[in-house]
Amino acid sequence: MSHPVRENDLLARLRVVLVEPSHPGNIGAVARAMKNMGLSRLALVNPHRFPHPEAMARASGADDILASAELYTTLPEALAGATRIYGTSARHQRTIPWPIVTPRGAASAIFASTSVAETALLFGRESVGLSNEELEQCHTLINIPANPDYSSLNLAQAVQIISYELRLAALELAASPTVSARVIDEAATAAEVNGYLDHLQRLLIQVGFLDPHNPRLLLRRLSRLYQRAALERTEVHILRGILTEVQKRLGFPHG
Ligand code: SAH
């Protein structure tokens, strides 16, 4: 295929991971910040309250990002398939021997070449940020060089600033003549296909097609079927969107 590469396709390689966000309003505001800048993939690790009407209200039209948000109970699950992991920190962690870059520095590194890596961006709790153990999963830290006397931004505003820099860098790469459509025509990762299968399983239980006490054989068969189909990432997104819409229409918890 030789269609032009759009910045949003490049940005689809990125996921925003919120670790234990406590305010549903912030989750909604993050979704809005992401969608404004063309980011689409949101992962939530143990949000205190989600889904929540306040998240919907603050998302203000970016509720599709909330609907397709991936929910995880552990950080490694949220990071599955990501080959580059950036942490964010309000403080200059002098005790941590990791490189610290600005949002602009990170954005230009992420979009430096046409083979954009699967990248996760980790954001911490409103109260205490990311733990040392979580920071250890990251190869680089992003620090917004704010007023040193008052350096901690609201979570969604930190996501906004970093997403804006990512968009600028993606726009630049998408405009370059060397970028090829191969960048986006990529197979879904195992984690993406598994995320879809988990989502499908939830729906099948909700509609009574699958007995949660005896799920094994059906799920294995479905898994084989989708392996055979060799899904692309965009196809997985479409399939998940369909499941979410069915769940919403039937009034079930969705995602
Ligand atoms: N009191 C916490 C601040 C948490 S703010 C602390 O000192 O770590 C919530 C999250 O917003 C942070 O974990 C980080 O992901 C992001 N954030 C806030 N300010 C930031 C900054 N100046 N640079 C980078 N990320 C920031």
* pLDDT tens digits along 184-194: 456 567 678 77
Tell me the per-residue pLDDT of 55-81, one tens digit each, with 9 for 90 and over.
Answer: 999 999 999 999 999 999 999 999 987
DSSP state of 16: E
Q: What's the mean per-residue pLDDT of the chain?
A: 88
3-state secondary structure of 137: coil
% of the chain residues with pLDDT over 90: 62
pLDDT beyond 60 at 180: no
Q: Provide the b/e sequence for 21-33 (b: ≥16 CB within 10 Å).
A: bebbbbbbbbbbb
Q: Ligand 1, residues 86, 151, 152: which to mutate, most atoms within 8 A of Cβ?
A: 152
| pLDDT average, residue stretch 228-253 | 86
pLDDT at 230: 58
pLDDT beyond 50 at 1: no
Q: How confident is the model at residue 175 (pLDDT cuts 50, 70, 90)?
A: confident
145 Cα nearest atom in ligand 1: 22
pLDDT beyond 60 at 3: no
pLDDT beyond 80 at 2: no
Tell me the per-residue pLDDT of 123-166, one tens digit each, with 9 for 90 and over.
Answer: 999 999 999 889 888 888 999 999 999 999 999 999 999 999 99
pLDDT beyond 60 at 121: yes
Q: CA dist 71 to 21, 93, 101, 170, Å?
A: 12, 28, 28, 26
Whole-number Å distance between alpha carbons of 204 and 188: 22
pLDDT beyond 60 at 181: no
% of the chain residues with pLDDT over 70: 87
127 Cα nearest atom in ligand 1: 1
pLDDT at 184: 47
Tell me the per-residue pLDDT of 82-113, one tens digit each, with 9 for 90 and over.
Answer: 878 899 999 876 666 778 999 999 999 998 86
Tell me the per-residue pLDDT of 191-207, one tens digit each, with 9 for 90 and over.
Answer: 787 789 899 999 999 99
Q: How confident is the model at residue 235 (pLDDT cuts 50, 70, 90)?
A: confident
Q: Ligand 1, residues 34, 75, 86, 88: which to mutate, most atoms within 8 A of Cβ?
A: 88
Q: Tell how far the Cα of 190 is from the centroid of ligand 1, in angstroms.
A: 31
Residue nearest to atom 22 of ligand 1 (CA): 90
pLDDT beyond 70 at 228: no
Q: Tell how far the Cα of 199 is from the centroid of ligand 1, in angstroms.
A: 31
pLDDT at 217: 77
**Any residues with CB less than 8 A from the CB of 229 and at least 6 apart, and which?**
235
